[in-house]
């Protein structure tokens, strides 16, 4: 088990979506589509990798129970200076929210594992 997960933006509230995007822009994780005048915040589904200082026990338990095997990506429904709120839903687990405070987040980025694995370090 590693100390990171892939999360997909998934919003049901436009105000929280706008606040999340504003927060991401403020920390330097900006995308051109976030600056469009007619951006539909509720349709954004960008992927972010969240690295933890220590992965919360509930996420380790879900991983151990192979939740992420079929549901590879967890939904991110809010990010602000206090932390990240995740949402999970499946027929086996049901649904629920998980909040991880920012003091347990070491990194938020968009570089997926396959991008790193495909990278040729030989310089050729």
Question: What confidence score (pLDDT) does residue 75 get?
Answer: 94
The model's pTM is: 0.85
Average pLDDT, the chain: 87
CB 8 within 8 A of CB 49: no
Q: What is the pLDDT of residues 100-113, one digit of tens each?
A: 999 999 999 988 76
Question: What confidence score (pLDDT) does residue 71 get?
Answer: 61
Rounded to a whole number of angstroms, the distance between the first and last alpha carbons of the chain is 32
- Single out the residue of 116, 107, 109 nearest to residue 55, CA to CA: 107
Q: What is the pLDDT of residues 56-93, one digit of tens each?
A: 999 999 888 888 876 667 999 999 999 999 999 887 77
């Amino acid at each position: 088990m590693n100390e990171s997960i892939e999360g997909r933006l998934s919003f049901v509230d436009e105000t929280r979506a706008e606040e999340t995007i504003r927060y991401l822009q403020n920390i330097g994780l900006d995308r051109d589509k976030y600056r469009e005048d007619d951006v539909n915040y509720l349709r954004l589904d960008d992927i972010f990798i969240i690295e933890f200082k220590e992965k919360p026990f509930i996420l380790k338990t879900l991983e151990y129970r192979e939740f992420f095997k079929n549901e590879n990506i967890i939904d991110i429904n809010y990010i602000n200076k206090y932390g990240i709120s995740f949402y999970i839903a499946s027929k086996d687990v049901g649904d629920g929210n998980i909040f991880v405070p920012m003091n347990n987040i070491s990194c938020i980025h968009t570089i997926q594992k396959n991008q790193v694995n495909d990278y040729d370090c030989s310089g050729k």
